[in-house]
Structure 1
Amino acid sequence: MLRQRLLVALIAIPLLTALVHLGGWPWAVTVSLILLAAAWEYTHLIRRIGFSPSPGWIGLMILGFLGDGMAFLPGSRVAELTLTLAPPMALVWFWWIRRTEHPVADWAFTAAGGLYLGWLGRSFVWLRNLPDPHGRWWVAFVLFTTWAADTGAYLVGRRWGRHRLAPQWSPGKTWEGFFGGCLAGMGVGAVLGFFIELGAGPGALLGLLIGSLGTLGDLSVSVLKRRAGVKDSGNLFPGHGGVLDRLDSLLWSGMLAYLYAHWIQGF
């Protein structure tokens, strides 16, 4: 398992690094494809539970939010239009056109998926669109602190984990692994803090927040997988699971970092 994880990381990290460096539309298209793949996995999880969300409507919401993230004109209202038009139109679709068995629940899962993936995922486009070189370093900060926290939690939990964190949702997670992930996030955050003009202390604090709150994103997807009776959301990445498995922590971390950069740093 660990060997597979390392092999995937050796391929994925240089590729993502190159795309982050390019920025612009290549990065936005990459984020879009990743989120659309996650939306497909999400719909299959919900269908295993017994409901029928629409991947098409989720995809439209995702593209609407990302389109807003790429809108360079001041006063862009793409996100507002997406939130205003997509949910009611999707409800009409389920209730009067598709006439599914559970139209309201199907609509609710569709709207939730679009908001979760699109609204949070948009932060990676926002962060990269910060003035260079800040945009590159902020995205790199989120990616590497989140990966460090995930890796630290995995290694510490595997070696010393004894006390279950949330056995009813994710039996493999332990408190020891949680604290190991927090420490790893703090360490990497302290180092990378210099590159985004945070400094070691604020960088470590943001790394701690990413390491701890990212666990909530992980657990939220674990709840769905538990209800669906599957271990992973997909099998695209050997040793890592599916796309949604890799995004569960990153989505929360990206939005947290953007809010920090926007509210505290003034970008």
Structure 2
Amino acid sequence: MFKQRVITALVLAPLMVIGIFFLPLKQFAIFIAAIATIGAWEWANIAGYERRWGRVAYALMVFVCLYISARVLRIRPELLVYYLAVGALWWIVAFALVKRYPGGTSLWTSRPVRGALGLCVLVPMWVGFMHLKVQPHSSLLIIFVMLIVWGADTGAYFSGKRWGNTKLAPHVSPGKSWAGFWGGLATAALVAILFGLGLDRWLQPLSRDDYLQMLLIAVITMVVSVLGDLVESMMKRHRGIKDSSSLLPGHGGVLDRIDSMAAAVPVFALCIHLLDWGFGQ
């Protein structure tokens, strides 16, 4: 298993780096849409569509929604904030669903509802990535949000392993603890401070307000990234499966690797849009 994980990571890592940081805008849009479409194929399984044709049909529907969104936003770019707001509002609803679980499943147990929830995850993720890609120093923004999510994951793992006695959501993900949550939050804040110090030294001077905004964005993004992980765990637990698929040997499915990022990116993008904040502005 460990050997499979390493081999898969060695293959995927350079592909992701090239796709995210070096592709031009149009090719980047297609790359992220491809990831979202594969994620949709897996989400269809989580939603209860067991037959292959049903999963393929759902994935095609999500791809069509992404294409329509691209056309709409090209003509009406002011609608961007509504796409991102829908993504952010969904995670508020998701918090309530996770908090009530195993109660409240009657609200979302039907396949069409779970399918609609997948749209609320995957379409805003694509829109969020596209918004980041067109910003000044877009690679730095994408690195920043990735470091927040990965740093929070790392901090949560070590603090949870050391002090994790009180469970965060025992009915959804017994492995997560409040100690892990606070450790992840502290790590995300540290990432924001260190990243800000690097920007201040090598890119542009940062004011106290800039640092405060970075901290605020990092904290909000981290909290939502945890929800992304919990929501997928809740859906899989309800469905009775361990992984979203077996596409990535040793890692499960694509959704298992991007669940936190799918939640974090649209909220991060909405924050920088509303605060009119970014690098080089």
* TM-score bracket, shorter-length normalisation: 0.7 to 0.9
Tell me, yes or no, if structure 1 residue 129 matches structure 2 residue 149: no
Report the CA distance between 1:34 and its aligned residue: 1.1
Gap change, CA 1:40 and 1:78, over 3 Å in 2: farther
Q: Give the C-alpha shift of residue 258 in structure 1.
A: 0.8
Residue 185 in structure 1 maps to residue 188 in structure 2: yes
Is this contact kept in 2: 1:54–1:110, CA < 8 A? no
Residue in structure 2 matched with residue 154 of structure 1 by the alignment: 157
The SS at the match of 1:232 is coil
Deviations 1:4-24 (A, max 9, x none): 767755654444333222341
For the 8 Å contact 1:23–1:128, the answer to whether it is kept is no
Paired letter, 1:162: N
Give the C-alpha shift of residue 109 in structure 1. 2.8
Inter-CA distance 76–37: structure 2 relative to 1 (3 Å threshold): same
Q: CA deviation at 1:182?
A: 1.0
Change (3 A) 1:113 1:200: same
Instruction: Give the conservation status (yes or no) of the 8 Å contact 1:28–1:70.
Output: no
Q: Give yes or no for contact 1:146–1:250 (8 Å, CA) kept in 2.
A: yes
Flag structure 1 segments of 5+ consecutive residues without an equivalent: 81-103
What amino acid maps onto 1:107 in structure 2? Answer: P
Matches within 5 A, 1:1-267: 12-21=12-21, 22-47=23-48, 55-65=56-66, 68-69=69-70, 73-75=74-76, 105-130=110-135, 132-133=136-137, 135-193=138-196, 195=199, 199-238=210-249, 240-265=251-276
User: Over the residues paired in the alignment, what is the CA RMSD in angstroms?
Assistant: 3.4
Name the SS for the 1:241 alignment partner: coil
Aligned counterparts of 1:192 and 1:7: Cα–Cα separation in 2: 30
Q: Structure 1 pair 129/72, CA: closer, same or farther in 2 (3 Å)?
A: farther
**Aligned length, in residue pairs:** 241
TM-score, normalising length from structure 1?
A: 0.75
Deviation at 1:168, TM superposition (A): 0.6
Unaligned runs of 5+ in 2: 83-108
**Structure 1: distance between partners of 2:116 and 2:194:** 38
- Amino acid in structure 2 at the alignment position of 1:177: G
Identity of aligned residues (%): 30
